[in-house]
Structure 1
Amino acid sequence: MSANGSRLFVVDAFTDEPFRGNPAGVVILADKRSDAWMQSVASEMRHSETAFASPAENDWWHLRWFTPTVEVDLCGHATLATAHVLGGHTRFRTRSGDLTCSVSPEGWIEMDFPADPPAPIDMPEPLRAALGDGVTVVAVTRGVSDLLVEVAGPDDVRAARPDLAALASIPVRGVILTAHDPARNRIVSRCFYPAVGVPEDPVTGSAHCTIGSWWAQRLGRDDLVAEQLSPRGGTLRLARRGDRMRLGGRAVTVWHGEISV
């Protein structure tokens, strides 16, 4: 047992296969640690997010998320990873309010997050420059944290090669490209976060609070299947329930150990 005793896990989220989905660091804290220490661990891990969980009252847990460079208000895949480590049925106190996780009969972990219906906006000039002429834009919208850009179809999402420096200059957390794939009856996306040290995120749970809200309204359906078209890929089940969005996914622990500092 190390002097610190904090346990460290790497979990692939939104997948049931190792080395796919989105890897997250999960630290179960044995004692109180400084913000600077948590940021240093997240920078050392170099995953898009590392989650830090510590016990709260009455079986609740405090939960925080750090990218390699900053703390963020909400992270879906690292919440899923933490719930997976803690056994699935879990309740968290976070900067974005109270979040609960449960396990479906099929073994999927379902997270209850705030919905995030985005509002249409004019296209910012840096976004126009970043996307270039190879992407047909249908709508540009703004959620709480991200810009959501609906494009003409799945091929536009796959083919996009945005200028990341231009995206980083837009005053938002990140930019989502999304489309409906009617042939496969699902929503597809890619998510870019260069402003917070993540050029392209493999699978982004929190972004699907925005993606699911947009497409539930556009398609007139509350229950959706979503796929993120990053090289690692990942699949989510989305269910809009009033002002909440339920995000479902699977997760796999790849390795675990202890932090010795």
Structure 2
Amino acid sequence: MKLKMYQIDAFAERVFSGNPAAVCVLDFWLKDAVMQQIAAENNLAETAFVVKNNNQYDIRWFTPEIEVDLCGHATLATAFVLFTYYIPNEKNIAFFSSRSGSLWVEKEDEGYLTLNFPVDDLALCNPMPKLYEALGSTPEHIFKGKTDYLLVYKNQDEIIQISPNFFLLNQVEARGIIVTAKGEDVDFVSRFFAPQAGINEDPVTGSAHTSLTPYWSKILGKDRLTAKQLSKRGGELICENLGERIKIKGKAVSYLIGEIEV
């Protein structure tokens, strides 16, 4: 069976930046094992699979190792593919995930796409010396969300200097570790490490901003925020706190259109 596959750089205005994701638009669901094998073969942070279901699209996301509950950049990439190649006259897409519920993407002016996601609930944690050892630094505060830890540091330079021991970090039971601080030229900066999901450092993590946005909105006293993920490829996002949900805005560009055989 031949399948068309797209590779999209999400949260990017040019290729070779942002976060690459593969997208497969299917007529019907493949076996879970096959989708996991495709994601492993792609060896990207995320491969998204989507099937049209009446007036919405059902969506699932796989890293090279596991299926995850939510992925922002691969949802943005999927919306870009659908808007560009399948439904160019539409302005809104409704997605549904059995793990995360209803998600929406809106096509705006100047090439922007805006995700509408549920917020993450954060709970303050006791200090975690083993996690701090793995990161080589101690944060001011640590929180636990649904799947990730959020560590808050004093300044942007501390975020840049973090050099994790991924062997130790892989022993922390969490999808990922978010490190963040107030930004110098944006409202806040972050990095995201997810060795248990097969990704040492993710370039740009939309889903992490479901934790970051409500936190920084409260700290900075504003609902509209600018953000930058300080990975090697880098990525910029515009976030808005809506209370129970958030908006995450970015652009995407097409890198590859191909065909795979399974």
TM range (shorter): over 0.9
Task: Select 1:131's aligned residue among 128, 135, 150.
Answer: 135
1:177 aligns with 2:179: yes
Describe how 1:66-215 pairs up with structure 2 within 5 A.
66-87=62-83, 89-94=92-97, 95-132=99-136, 135-181=137-183, 183-215=184-216
* CA separation of 1:30 and 1:260: change in aligned 2, threshold 3 A: farther
Q: Distance in 2 between the 1:32 and 1:146 partners?
A: 28
Structure 1 residues 205-244: aligned runs within 5 Å: 205-244=206-245
Q: CA deviation at 1:80?
A: 0.2
Counterpart AA for 1:207:
A
User: What secondary structure is seen at the aligned counterpart in 2 of 1:254?
Assistant: strand
Report the TM-score when normalising by structure 1: 0.94
CA distance in 2, matches of 1:24, 1:189: 20
Runs of 4+ in 1 over 6 A off after TM superposition: none
1:15 counterpart = 2:12? yes
Please tell me the residue identity of whatever aligns with 2:116: D
CA–CA separation in structure 2 for the residues paired with 1:118 and 1:194: 21
Unaligned stretches of 5+ residues in structure 1: none
Deviation at 1:30, TM superposition (A): 3.2
State the one-letter code of the partner of 2:42: M
Q: Which letter does structure 2 place at the counterpart of 1:254? A: Y
TM-fit CA distance, 1:29 = 1.2
CA RMSD of aligned residues (A): 1.2
Aligned counterpart, 1:24: 21
Q: Please tell me whether residue 35 in structure 1 is matched to residue 32 in structure 2.
A: yes
Distance 1:71 1:154 in 2: 31
**Does structure 1 conserve the Cα–Cα contact (< 8 Å) formed by 2:186 and 2:227?**
no
For residues 241 and 37 of structure 1, what CA distance do their matches in structure 2 show?
37
* Amino acid aligned to 1:56: N
Q: For the Cα contact (< 8 Å) 1:141–1:147, is it kept in 2? A: yes
Give the superposition deviation at 1:117: 3.8
TM-score, structure 2 normalization: 0.94
For residue 34 of structure 1, report the CA deviation from its aligned partner. Answer: 0.3
Q: CA deviation at 1:185?
A: 3.4
Query: What whole-Å deviation, never above 9, does each CA across 1:81-135 have from its counterpart, x for those lacking one?
Result: 0000000621111020011100122321001000114221112232121122xx3
Q: Matched residue of 2:40: which SS?
A: helix
Which has the higher mean CA deviation after the structures are superposed, 69-78 or 24-33? Answer: 24-33
The count of aligned residue pairs is 254
110-119 or 189-198: bigger deviation: 110-119
